[in-house]
Amino acid sequence: MMTIVAVDDEPLALQLITRYIEETPELSLLRMFRNPLEAAVFLKENSVDIVMLDIQMPELNGIEFARQMPPGPKVIFTTAYKKYAIEGFKLEVVDYLVKPFSYQDFLKAIRRAEKIISLEKKSYENIESNNEFLYLKSNYKIKRLKFNDIQYIEGFNDSVRIYAVSSPEPIQSQTTLKVLEAKLPAGRFMRIHRSFIVNLQMVDTIDRGRIVFGKVYIPVGDQYKEKFEDYLRKNFL
């Protein structure tokens, strides 16, 4: 499922784009914006795969909007003017749809964006792993994450929060706990709950079946208890 945001000051244009998105099962519409300034704030705070972007808008036109956008989302221009096409391709947008455009044109642009996103994802996943660190996408940036800096990792549906000693705030990334678990060195990290992975070298205190990190208490899930207790027995004095 790819997430998408539509930015256009024309209500009828937004209605058409919404209908096209609803007809495309692999798309999830996050938000629609008539005000590009509001859309700019949203994109700084949220991860998005595709942005459908009008060009002629008050306050901030689509060309300037695309230039100021955080890296990550793939842009598809939607406009009534052909004259901006060259500028659009200079910005390396995925496609340039001239209004009124058909569902077939819309779908062709989406397929092009989907292919680019898929290739980027495969490139990222094929980065050779090692026993010291990994690279992780977080808030449109790629961060180097040292394994010995991680305390624990909390998983949600399609994202994780990594709690590191050197970071005052958790590092959030759009991946799953299962995918990240496969990248972590065996023997140093253990999944002890369906929503948590802990760095075994960071475990100092266990209180009534819960691992303690400062004021955070992480329960050991029933299906992971036997494996964790076996680890304790091997390292118990």
Whole-number pLDDT of residue 47: 84
User: Terminus-to-terminus CA distance in the chain, angstroms?
Assistant: 49
Whole-number pLDDT of residue 30: 95
Q: What is the mean pLDDT of the chain?
A: 88
Architecture per CATH, 2-124: 3-Layer(aba) Sandwich (3.40)
State percent of the chain over pLDDT 70. Answer: 95
Per-residue confidence at 48, pLDDT binned at 50, 70, 90?
Answer: very high
- pLDDT of 67 higher than 90: no
Cα 129 from Cα 145, distance rounded (Å): 12
Give the start-end residues of each E strand in the chain: 2-7, 27-33, 50-54, 74-79, 95-98, 133-138, 141-146, 150-155, 160-164, 171-173, 189-193, 196-199, 205-207, 210-213, 216-219
- pLDDT of 116 higher than 70: yes
CA distances from 54 to 27, 46, 80, 92, 169 (A): 19, 20, 9, 15, 35
CA distances from 78 to 96, 140, 173, 200 (A): 6, 24, 30, 51
Whole-number pLDDT of residue 89: 67
149 neighbors 164 (Cβ within 8 angstroms): yes
Superfamily of structural domain 133-234: LytTr DNA-binding domain (2.40.50.1020)
Per-residue confidence at 4, pLDDT binned at 50, 70, 90?
Answer: very high
Show me where the domains of the chain are located: 2-124, 133-234
State percent of the chain over pLDDT 90. Answer: 57
Whole-number pLDDT of residue 51: 96
Please count the other Cβ atoms lying within 10 Å of the Cβ belonging to residue 84: 18
- pLDDT of 126 higher than 70: no
Whole-number pLDDT of residue 223: 87
Pick the range with the lowest mean pLDDT from 7-16, 198-207, 226-235.
226-235
Cα 37 from Cα 47, distance rounded (Å): 17
- pLDDT of 129 higher than 70: no
Whole-number pLDDT of residue 157: 72
Per-residue confidence at 54, pLDDT binned at 50, 70, 90?
Answer: very high
199 neighbors 162 (Cβ within 8 angstroms): no
Per-residue confidence at 122, pLDDT binned at 50, 70, 90?
Answer: low
Whole-number pLDDT of residue 237: 67
